[in-house]
Structure 1
C-alpha cells in the first residue's frame, strides 16, 4: 500500500482547485490573504497529510516484513495533522488587524484555517468530506454574505457612535437631531475630560438607524454644529 504518482497529482490538483475558489473569493474582496496564500496553505497541508499517510504505510510494511519489530515501530496518523491545525493559527493571526474601533480579518483567518483542513482531508484521501467541506466553506463566504445584507434591510441597523463636543448645550442639539430624524437612542455613556481650561464632553450613543439614514448622513449633518469636535464610529 502506497500513494502512486497519479494519486499524488489528483490530490494536489484538488487542493489547488478548492483553495483557488476560496482564495479567489477573498482576493475579490481585497482581503489580506488571497488566491496564492490559500493555494499554498492547502497544498502544504495536503503534502503533510500525504507524508503522514506514507509514514503509516511504511510502518505497516516494516511491521509485516519484520514482525519482531512490531512492538517498537509505531505511527501516530494524527501527529502531523495536529501540528498543521495548530500551526496555521500563526498565519491566520497575521491577517487580523485590531484597531481601537474594530477588528478586521477574522473571516480571512478562519478561511485560511478551513483551507488547511480541506488540504488535510484531500491529502488523506477523504474526497467526499473534502468536496462537501469546500462547498459549505464557499457557501459561507459568498451566499451568507448576501443573506447578511438582506437581513440588514429587514432588521434595524445598530451603531455605536462617539461624539465629542464643547459646552453642555450641544448635548441638547444632538438629542434633538436624533429625535427629529427618528433615530432611536438605545443607551448612552457619558464622560468628561479637560483640555487646559476647557471641558470636552464625550458621549457614546448606541443608536438604531431608521431606513434611509446611514452613519455617514448622521456624521455629516452633526458636523455642522461648530461645538462638535469629533464624530467617531465605535463599532460596525
Structure 2
C-alpha cells in the first residue's frame, strides 16, 4: 500500500520532473508549456500509485491485477494527447509539433516511473530529455539546421 506521505512525495517529484522539461518548452515558446508537462507527469504518477493501492486491496489468488494494462492505458492516452500536438497546417505539408508530441509521451513515461517508485530512473530520463532539448536547440541555433518555427 502506498502511504499518504509517499504518495505526496512522489507527486511532488513528478511535478518537479515535469517542470524541468516544461520549463525548456516554455522558454522556447512552444505550444505545450510547463503546465501541460507537469500535469501529464503528475497524472501518470498518481494513476500508477492509485493502481498499486487498488491491486493490493483487491488482489487475491483468484484475481490478479495486471499492472501492464495500467501502463499501456497511460501510454495510449498520452499518445492521443501527443498526436493532438502534431499538426500539419502548413502549405508545404511539413508537420509541426512532433517534438512536443514525442516529449509529452516521454514525460508520461517519467510519471509512470515515479508512480511505480523508480524515481532514479525517472530523474535520469528527465535529465536525458532535457539534455536532448538543450543540445538540439544549441545545434539548431549554431548551424541553422531547421526552421525555428518547427514546434
TM-score by length of 1: 0.57
Residue 6 of structure 1 pairs with residue 33 of structure 2: no
Which residue matches 2:68?
78
Aligned to 1:103, the other structure's residue is in SS state coil
Residue 110 of structure 1 pairs with residue 102 of structure 2: yes
Extract unaligned runs of 5+ from structure 2. 147-151
Extract unaligned runs of 5+ from structure 1. 64-69, 159-236
Partners of 1:26 and 1:149 lie apart in 2 by: 15
Out of 96, 103, 128, the residue aligned to residue 136 of structure 1 is 128
Name the larger-Rg structure: 1
| Preserved contact between residue 85 and residue 116 of structure 1 (Cα < 8 Å) | yes
- Offset at residue 125 of structure 1 (A): 0.2
- Offset at residue 105 of structure 1 (A): 0.7
Partners of 1:148 and 1:129 lie apart in 2 by: 28
State the structure with bigger RCO (CA 8 A, min sep 6), 1 or 2.
2
State the superposition RMSD in angstroms. 1.9
1:106-129 Cα offsets, whole Å, 9 max, x none, are: 101111110010000000000111
- Offset at residue 93 of structure 1 (A): 1.5
Which residue matches 2:91?
100
Which residue matches 2:24?
25
| Preserved contact between residue 48 and residue 81 of structure 1 (Cα < 8 Å) | no
- Offset at residue 104 of structure 1 (A): 1.2
Greater share of residues in helix: 2
Partners of 1:43 and 1:58 lie apart in 2 by: 23
| Preserved contact between residue 46 and residue 120 of structure 1 (Cα < 8 Å) | yes
Residue 146 of structure 1 pairs with residue 145 of structure 2: no
Aligned to 1:145, the other structure's residue is in SS state helix
Partners of 1:26 and 1:97 lie apart in 2 by: 17
- Offset at residue 89 of structure 1 (A): 1.5
| Preserved contact between residue 46 and residue 119 of structure 1 (Cα < 8 Å) | yes
Greater share of residues in strand: 1
